[in-house]
Amino acid sequence: MNSEKSIIKIAKQTIEEESKAIFNLSNLITEDFEASVKLIYNSKGRVIITGIGKSAIIAQKIVATFNSTGTPAIFMHAADAIHGDLGLILKDDVVICISKSGNTPEIKVLVPLIKNANNKMIAITGNKDSFLGQQVDYVLNAFVEKEACPNNLAPTTSTTAQLVVGDALAVCLLEMRGFSSNDFAKYHPGGSLGKKLYLRVQDISSVNEKPQVFLDTNVKDVIVEISKKRLGVTAVVENKEIVGIITDGDIRRMLSDTIDFSTLTAKDIMGKTPKRVSADTMAVDALDIMETNGISQLLVEENGKYAGVVHLHDLIKEGII
């Protein structure tokens, strides 16, 4: 291989081979899959997911997906399990064992030990007739004809298949639990995805400066207020209600159009129809308003009264964008 075309060809071939194998998984879904989902859903315990080698890495990813979608799960390495970590498994826990061949030495040692404790077991394996497949309560078939690796050795297509089966389990359980976007946010409070689901405008505007002037405020003082509060904007208020807005763009236009502005007040240069949002508006919705209108600030209201400013930079800082 010595050309970019060859690299592109191999990449496309790899993706096509794996996609065909994944598509075929839908033909391998049986009653065991449904029974496995119901078993986990009705369990009073956790899900313990185990494997060895590359399957162990896939197990860790499935554990992460389960935990983030409302199904408590713990990873247990198959090799460590037979050297003390079996103590992780409690009476009501369901064990999922992942293995392409289902016949590795560690699996052959581990499975009988788990069965002796009477825990229910589920296998994700590419060989339903293997030792693992014959010993567990339910088998989820992750069979693939060949690896994407040209030598048919490196786990590639098979580990992708295992991951997809795990995702299918997680999504089915998510649906059965009625897991909502609000639930997702509870499990991801520090991530940008979670923030999109729980962060409100007031959470941002409440820590910002609150620039404001009045209808008769002299333009010089308006400029000082905008500069001092560093949000590029000020609200014009009357009886604590928003009646206008002045941006740094308004100031620049005034300076280019007016020689003497000593007698001008906020009322003379303000915009009379400012875009505004309520304090309890979701931050992501505020972003949509900014993008739709091509603006970088929104005035915030609470109970009809001026409450502050939310700036595009705030949303960037919080990872909403």
- What's the CA gap between 181 and 174, in Å, rounded? 11
**At CA 275, angle to CA 270 and CA 277, rounded to 5?**
135
Could you give the angle at the alpha carbon of 69 between the alpha carbons of 64 and 75, nearest 5°? 30
Residue 115, token pair as written in the block? 């069965």
Question: How far, in Å, CA of 211 to CA of 192, rounded?
Answer: 28
Give the containing element (helix H, strand E) for 75: strand 73-77
d(CA 139, CA 114): 16
Binding site annotation covers 313?
Answer: no
Cα angle at 251 between 249 and 252, to 5 degrees? 65
Return d(Cα 39, Cα 139) in angstroms, integer: 13
Smallest CA-to-CA distance from 261 within 222, 292, 297 is with 222
Dihedrals φ, ψ of 32, to 5°?
A: -60, -35
Binding positions for Zn(2+)? 77
Binding positions? 77
